[in-house]
Structure formats: C-alpha cells, structure tokens
Amino acid sequence: MKKGLLVIISGPAGSGKGTIVKRVRELAPFDFSVSATTRKPRQGEEEGVHYYFVTKEDFEKKIAEGEMLEYAQYVGNYYGTPKKPVEKALAEGKNIILDIEVKGALQVKEKMPEAVMIYVLPPDYETLLARIRGRGTETEDVIQKRMTEARTEIKTFPKYDYVVINRENGIDEAANDVLAILHAETMRTSRNAEIPETFFS
Amino acid sequence: MKKGLLVIISGPAGSGKGTIVKRVRELAPFDFSVSATTRKPRQGEEEGVHYYFVTKEDFEKKIAEGEMLEYAQYVGNYYGTPKKPVEKALAEGKNIILDIEVKGALQVKEKMPEAVMIYVLPPDYETLLARIRGRGTETEDVIQKRMTEARTEIKTFPKYDYVVINRENGIDEAANDVLAILHAETMRTSRNAEIPETFFS
C-alpha cells in the first residue's frame, strides 16, 4: 500500500485558499482530519466528526508526548491536530489536506517532513488588499492588521515547497495547480524508495 | 523573464524514454540542445544544427574551463553538451530537455543543481527484459549486458528527483506524468524566490 500524501495549504486572509481547498476536495479524494479542542461541544456538534472534545489535561498530555502535529490557543481554549489519526489515514493510502495558518504549518512540517507545503497568494498586493476590503465586513483597523500579518508571514515563504497563484476567477486553475503538484509528488523518488530493490528482486 | 526548466530524462535501454521525450516535445515547447563532438561531420550534417563540430583541442579546453555540462568518449571521439547555449536558452525562458544516460545526467546535475531529474522505468523487470528481447536485434550477450547495466544504473535512483513508470501502451500517460512534473516544478518556491520581495514592493 502506497502511503497517502499529507498536504498543507496556507496563505494570507484574502488569498482564497479556503475556496481552493474546497474545489480540490471536489476533484480528488481526501480524508478529513478532525481537530481536537478543549472547548465545550456546541449544539449538534459530534465527537470525532466536528472535533475530538478533550479535557485541558488530556490536551496538554498529548502536547507533552508529541502527539499533537500542531496546536494553538484561542480565547482560552486549545485547538490542534492529533497525529495518530493522520498517520493512520496516510498509512492506509489516503491523502489528507490541512488548511492551516503558517505557525501550525511549520509545526506539522517539523514533525512530518514528508508533508507537501503549498502557499497560496493572490497575483499581487493590490488584489490582496481589494479582496480583504471587498469582504466589506472588516474595519480599517482589521484590514491594516491583516496586511501586516501577510507581510510578516510571507517571510516564511522559503519554508514552503510550492506557491500557487490564485488569479481573478482562477479557482479552477489554482485547484488544477494543486492537483498537478500532488500528481508530481507521488512520483518523487523519495516517495518510491522501494523501487530499486523491488524492481530487480 | 522567468527562467526555463532544464529537464534531464534517463532510463535503461528498453524503458521507452526516447519515445516519451518525443511525445513530450509534441505536447509542450522545448528548445533543442545541440551537442558538441570531435568527430567529422557526415554527409548532410550542419554545424550548430546536428552538432557543433570542434577540434579535440577545443573540446578539451572547454572541459578544462568547465564549459561542458557533460561529456563522454565514444570510439575515440568526444561527445558532450556545451553549457553556454543551455544557459542562454534557460535565461530566455525556454525549457530544455536532455535525454542522456546516467553518468552524463549526474555530471549535469552537479553543474546545474536546478535541473529536474526524471528516471523512466518499465513497470517491472519482466517487461524490461521482454522489451529488450522484443527488439529482436540484440544477441543474448548484448541483452545480458543491458540488464547488468540497468541493475548497476538503478543504484543512482535516489539521485533523481522523480520516477515515471512507462506502462504497456502508456506513452501518453507517461508524457502526461512528465508534464505534471514540469507544471509542479514551475511552482516551486525555490524557482519563485523573488515573490516575497516583489509582492510587497
């Protein structure tokens, strides 16, 4: 059984990465990774479907044991990606795609260096600004904060393997770019290291 | 102007790499790399088209100056790939594909580490053997020699970036694999290192 691919997609607010991930999921089969959290379940949320709901003690134990691929705290609660279910899915040949921000992405890459890291960007600065403004839901303060975040985050660009440019009306093109990357990655000699031995056996 | 890709394709006799390269050239634009040689031109061979015809002294001078990307001797003559025309084409955004054997491929990779190295293989040993036998032009001695060569060459497999499997009637599939690799490679962050700077300038 050939191992599945772990794909990490990041990009600034307004890059459109969420929409690209949605489209990629429509075009190719991916397993969902379920996050763990210490916050209480909301109405209708199911254990193991929306989240794994765990206690603060359990979460911190998992962190200490290296069992969280990445995690962060948000409004007093932990959120993170447990390692075991991801490893199990990959071992079963399933692909997993994680839409996560830069800090989490770098944590995952450290624990699983075989992860394919993709950074999504709009074609230029003006488009990024226009997309954030275009949402119409953010105050000027929040917009400036997002742009500053983007400026800081892009310094991690070289840590990513690939960059996908999300052009105007370019969701299908960008999704196709991601699929070409995944297709190519399955052909990496490092992911087919058994071939020299098996071929002549 | 974005730099072109230098693509190196190798594979054992019977892998079908020649046919794949031909098909890839039909599907995507590539510049031809013209080899240099010290052998005399044959009837109808043109300088700079079929070969660059140079003297032994010139060839050896080019080797000494690091101006040959790769070279080999064959029946008393030198054959090789001059570096300058390749670099010029790449700088002009043209892609170049080199169909060369393993020793030459590794020489090129050393001089131009950005080269994309692809190794072509049939699906299995039996198919390789059948394809070499199937040519019907080789003696049993030559067939055994080819298989021994393949067995030795495959040890360099990890030096290649990608492996493309050429299945039965799979030329279009294999050509498509190569194109997906090239598409993905254009999106490598290492080939787009200017983005973090230009995006926010």
Contacts of A185 (CB under 8 A, 6+ apart): A5, A116, A191, B184
Buried b (16+ CB within 10 A) or exposed e, A120-147: bbbeebebbbebbeeeeebeeeebeebb
Reply yes or no on whether the pLDDT at A25 is more than 80: yes
What pLDDT does A135 receive?
A: 74
Binned average pLDDT, 10 residues per bin, chain B of 201 residues: 94 92 95 93 94 96 96 94 96 95 95 97 93 83 90 94 95 97 97 93 82
Enclosing H/E stretch for A119: strand A116-121
Tokens 């052998």 correspond to B39
Residue A84 has phi, psi (to 5 degrees) of: -55, -50
Given an 8 Å threshold on Cβ–Cβ distance, is A199 in contact with B161? no
- Average pLDDT along chain A: 94
Cα→Cα distances A77→A58, A84, B181, Å: 13, 21, 42
If you measure CA to CA, which chain B residue comes closest to A178?
A: B184
| C-alpha span between A33 and A96 (Å, rounded) | 7
Q: Compare CB distances from A157 to B164, B183, B195 and report the shortest one's residue.
A: B195
A23 near A172, Cβ under 8 Å? yes
Residue B136, pLDDT score: 76
| CA–CA distance, A84 with B90 (Å, rounded to integer) | 45
Among partner residues A125, A183, A184, which is closest to B199 by beta-carbon distance?
A: A125
- In whole angstroms, give the CA distance from residue B25 to residue B198: 33
Give me the residues paired with residue A188 across strands.
Answer: B162
pLDDT tens-place string over residues A34-44: 999 999 999 99
pLDDT for the residue B78: 97
The pLDDT value given to residue A1: 81
Would you state the pLDDT for residue A65?
A: 96
What's the pLDDT at B32?
Answer: 85
Q: Which of A21, A25, A11 is nearest to A165 (CA)?
A: A11
Confidence of residue A200 (pLDDT cuts 50, 70, 90): confident
pLDDT tens-place string over residues A66-96? 999 999 999 999 999 999 999 999 999 999 9
Of A154, A155, A180, the CB nearest to B180: A180
Using the CB atoms, write b or e for B14-53: b if 16+ within 10 Å: bbbbeebbebbeeeeebbebbbbbbeeeeeeeeeeeebbb
Q: What is the mean pLDDT of residues A161-176?
A: 95
CA distances from B129 to A190, B150, B152 (A): 25, 10, 15
CA distances to A40, A91, A95, A97, A115 from A86, in Å: 23, 9, 9, 10, 11
CA distance B31 to chain A (A): 22
For residue A136, pLDDT over 80 is answered with no
Taking CA–CA distances from A123, the nearest residue in chain B reads B199
**Nearest chain B alpha carbon to A192:** B163
In sequence order, the β-bridge partners of residue A120 are: A164
CB B6 within 8 A of CB B90: yes
Interface list for chain A against chain B, based on CB atoms closer than 8 Å:
119, 121, 124-125, 150-151, 154-155, 157-158, 160-164, 177, 180-181, 183-185, 187-190, 192-193, 195-196, 199-200
Q: Which residues of B touch A154 (CB under 8 A)?
A: 195-196, 199-200
Q: A187 is written with which tokens?
A: 């052909």
The answer to whether the Cβ–Cβ distance between A189 and B151 falls below 8 Å is no
Chain B nearest CA to A125, separation (Å): 6
Cβ–Cβ below 8 Å for A164 and B187: yes
DSSP A33: P
The residue of chain B with its CA nearest to that of A162 is B188
Q: What is the DSSP code (8-state) at residue B200?
A: T
- The answer to whether the Cβ–Cβ distance between A199 and B154 falls below 8 Å is yes
User: Would you say A36 and A73 are in contact if contact means Cβ atoms under 8 Å apart?
Assistant: no
SS (H, E, C) A58-72: HHHHHHHCCCEEEEE
Q: State whether B162 and A184 contact (CB < 8 Å).
A: yes
pLDDT for A147 beyond 80:
yes
Pure H helices in chain B = 17-27, 56-64, 83-91, 102-111, 125-134, 140-153, 171-186, 195-199
